[in-house]
Structure 1
Amino acid sequence: MKNIKPSFEVIEPSFGSSFYYSKYEEKLNNKAHLWHYHPEIEMVYVNGGAGKRQIGSHLSYYTEGDLILIGSNLPHCGFTDTNTGNKHETVIQMKSEFLGKDFLNLQETKGIAELFEKAKAGIAFGPETKNLVGNRIEIMDIQAPLERLLTLLNVLNELSNAEDFKILNAAGFSMEMQAQDNDRISMVFNYVKDHFQEEINLATIAGLSSMTVPSFCRYFKKITKKTFTHFVNEYRIVHASKLLAEKQTSIANISYESGFHNFSHFNKSFKEFTGKSASQYRKEIKSIFK
């Protein structure tokens, strides 16, 4: 069995800086493939391309790049792979108090404090905001430390004023909990990631969590606001969405590769999740990348 233990990531600020910054060329950010978490708030800008977005219990497929903000200790996976087709991926990680414990208590930073609070459930920003701040995020790569810090504050201010954003996890969702709980739920996420193409037995996953099946079901629903079955089906549908965009194989084969062994169940689930049939989705997604 693959290692499904969640990764607690230890992050050191960039040399001469109070926060971490890294800009990856296409296909080179391979270190975050497992579900992992860390106390730092994380901003990720993917310049172009399409891929899976997996943050907390939220699962979706993005197109034309992505700009997200992930709160402290919110489990997530990497956002790019060899098929994403992005130009760059930029990752910024900072502790909420990276400029001092009183910084977010200032009147001038009230908006940023509210932004960090929203980020506890994960935030995805729309095209207008991506276009507004994307280039600023990328040019931080060549800026001197003070200039880079000022740019980051400027970007955070823009994000705090953005109107085209989506909160990714349900109201009341929170992964700020005991380390044991965070490890347990991330272990479950990693197990689904590694085994979604197979039949996933509730008794097995409950056993790995050291719980009875009823206790596990209640626990998972309490943490994620979703049933475990719903989460697994969503994971499979998001994977199918990715394959529909990237591969020319038949929809029936994609259904099977995504863990659905009943084609009619796949069709019904796909339409419920996306609002359209798999064939219609493929047609629309192909038109975007013409």
Structure 2
Amino acid sequence: MKISYENIYFDQSRSLKIESYTDKSQCDIVSWHLHPEYELVFIKSGSGSLQIDSHFENYHDGLLVFLGPNIPHMPFGNSQFKNNIEVVIQFPESFIHEKLSHFPEFKTVLKFIEHSRNGVIFSSEVHKRLSSQFLKFGKQNNTERLINFMNILYQLSVCKDQSVILKTQLSLDIHKHSLERIAKVYQYINDHYNVEIRSESLAKRLGLTPNSFCRMFKTVTNRNFIDFLNEFRIKKAQEYFQHHDISIAEVMYQCGFNDPSYFSKQFKKYTGTSPSKFTKQLLIKQNRIN
């Protein structure tokens, strides 16, 4: 199977990424993929298929599943019912080591996360019991969402109605060493997106030739490096516009671009609109709220 590497972007104002999907706003990931983040997926109702590495099964009346890092899987959602809701929660390894691990009270939760790295499916009883908590996310602010998520994690950590998905080592088509290298690349981009980043420099950091680096990156992510870097920077630009009152030129430089024409072209490529129109739309939304 051909597996793509999903680049999950985290807003600086949040510790988690929480997305809700319906039949009208479905997830745009449609094929086999993996990512270094943990993932908790809740599907309110309907039937569908669960394809995780070599594991396959059908589900009915909704789904609640937890996945560890770098497990290849297909999307789980279904559009069988118009009022169906899918909630996807993703968090990085750093959320565990830099936040949860500092609190001894989370010992049970940490143990659950470690023991669930190969994936866990929860029973229909657990799904039904926690359903109302997942449906709250759409109406909560960031603080309430974090508290709600921790409550859900704790309840999952103490429940017994769960089954491990993969009992053996993952049969990844992508070599683990390549995944580790991609994780390092992603971290470097996250830390240095505001300055010049050259593929030659990253190749040297990983002990590869430039050609080997580009080939490895394309194989794992199914994208070329420049596209990946530009999209990351544009998402950062969107974040700056949403959370800071600064000019388009300032955002451009803060996100590693130095050519206004190229910045505008890339912004439109990944957002469908120009920086000026994007900021105007934000202003209109803010005025409506106020």
TM-score range with shorter-chain normalisation?
0.5 to 0.7
Is the CA contact (8 Å cut-off) linking 2:29 and 2:75 kept in structure 1? yes
Candidates 146, 151, 156, aligned match of 1:154? 151
Which of 19, 28, 33 is the aligned partner of 2:30? 33
Task: Describe the shift of the 1:27–1:178 C-alpha distance in structure 2 as closer, same or farther (beyond 3 A).
Answer: farther
The question of 1:138 aligning with 2:124 is answered no
Give SS of 1:98's match.
Answer: helix
For 1:123, which of 116, 120, 138 is the aligned residue? 120
Residues 52-91 of structure 1: per-residue CA shift (max 9 Å, x gap):
0011221100001000001011111101244477711110
**2:68 maps to which of 71, 74, 83:** 71
Q: For the structure 1 residues 19 and 102, does the alpha-carbon distance in structure 2 shift closer, same or farther, using more than 3 Å as the test?
A: closer
Q: CA deviation at 1:9?
A: 0.8
Quick one: distance in 2 between partners of 1:124 and 1:86? 23
State yes or no: 1:21 paired with 2:18: yes
CA distance in 2 between counterparts of 1:104 and 1:27 reads 38
What is the one-letter code of the residue matched to 1:69? F
| Counterpart for residue 10 of structure 1 | 7
Deviations 1:210-230 (A, max 9, x none): xxxxxxxxxxxxxxxxxxxxx
Does the alignment pair 1:111 with 2:108?
A: yes
Is the Cα contact below 8 Å between 1:49 and 1:87 reproduced in 2?
yes
CA distance in 2, matches of 1:82, 1:76: 18
Residue segments in structure 2 that go unaligned for 5+ positions in a row:
183-290
SS of aligned partner of 2:146: helix
8 Å contact from structure 1 (residues 65, 86) kept in 2: no
For 2:171 and 2:154, locate their aligned partners in 1 and report how far apart those are by CA, in whole Å. 24
Judged with a 3 Å threshold, the aligned counterparts in structure 2 of structure 1 residues 95 and 46 are, in CA distance, closer, same or farther, namely same
Paired residues for 1:144-183 under 5 Å: 144-173=141-170, 177-179=176-178
Regions of 4+ moved over 3 Å? 81-86, 171-176, 180-183
- Paired residues in the alignment total 180
Aligned partner of residue 138 in structure 1, secondary structure? helix
Residue 87 of structure 2: which of 84, 87, 90 is its match? Answer: 90
Q: Give 1:14 deviation, angstroms.
A: 4.6
The TM-score normalised by the length of structure 1 is 0.56
Residue identity in the other structure for 2:55: H
The 8 Å contact of residues 100 and 110 in structure 2, kept in 1 or not, is answered as no
DSSP 3-state at the match of 2:116: helix
User: How far did residue 132 of structure 1 move?
Assistant: 1.9
- SS of the equivalent of 1:93 reads strand
> What does the per-residue CA deviation read over 1:227-253, in whole Å, with 9 as the maximum and x for residues that have no partner?
xxxxxxxxxxxxxxxxxxxxxxxxxxx
| 2:55 paired with 1:58 | yes
Q: Which residue of 1 aligns with 2:98?
A: 101
**CA–CA separation in structure 1 for the residues paired with 2:167 and 2:112:** 16
> For residues 110-140 of structure 1, what are the alpha-carbon distances to aligned partners after superposition, in whole Å with 9 as ceiling and x for unaligned?
1221222222211000122112212111211
In structure 1, distance between residues paired with 2:107 and 2:72:
26
Q: Hey, what's the Cα distance between the residues in 1 that align with 2:117 and 2:131?
A: 22
What percent of counterpart residues are identical?
28
Contact 2:22 2:82 in 1 (8 A): no
Q: How does 1:237-276 map to 2 (within 5 A)?
A: none
Letter in 2 for 1:35: W
